[in-house]
Structure 1
Amino acid sequence: MLVWQETRELKQDVYRLTYQFPKSEVYALTSQLRRAVISVGLNIAEGAGRGTVKDYIHFLYK
């Protein structure tokens, strides 16, 4: 779960950084970066809830 904890810190860093982006990027680059960083943590959590190591690894590579 150390990697999952690191993704939470990464999410905070991305949000902090994207607040500094120009307003014209709110619906483009900012949104895309935020969704991507959230997806990383969700994939790790979902994979960890699977029954097999093979399934877990599949979610890590998504």
Structure 2
Amino acid sequence: MGRHNFKKLKIWQEGMEIVSENYRLTRTYPDFERFNLISQMNRSAVSIPSNISEGSSKSTNRHFIKYLENSLGSAFEWETQLIVSYNEKYLDEEKFEELETKILQIQKMIASFIDNLGK
């Protein structure tokens, strides 16, 4: 396997899209969440594409998979934080459903990328 050009990977591009959506969203949160939910969400969002790019530098699929699994973990973590945000009424139902759909798609994409690498 050659190393992957992470910028060409659809999962990385979609991960970067989540990062942008995340920052747009968390900018509207109450100030008291700055060191709590906001920083947690920023961290897990950024971790999605970061792990993909870091993993793409590894020389074996087995090593790449480890980073992809971290990326997937961060996507699940971010989804939970999104649900918390919705429960706290920091976003409306329409925005919640849009972002929930996006994060579920990314989770599926990363999971099938892992499955394909593992073959």
TM-score normalised according to structure 2 size: 0.51
* Pairing 1:47–2:47 present: no
Residue by residue over 1:2-40, the C-alpha shift from the partner in whole angstroms, topping out at 9 and shown as x without a partner, is: 100001110000000001100110111000100111111
Identity %: 35
Aligned length: 62
* Pairing 1:30–2:30 present: no
Aligned to 2:10: 2
Aligned to 1:15: 23
> What RMSD over aligned residues (CA atoms) do the two structures have, in Å?
0.6
5+ residue gaps, structure 2, are 1-8, 71-119
Task: Please identify the structure whose Cα radius of gyration is greater.
Answer: 2
TM-score normalised according to structure 1 size: 0.95
Residue by residue over 1:30-56, the C-alpha shift from the partner in whole angstroms, topping out at 9 and shown as x without a partner, is: 001001111111100011110011111
**SS of residue matched to 1:61:** helix
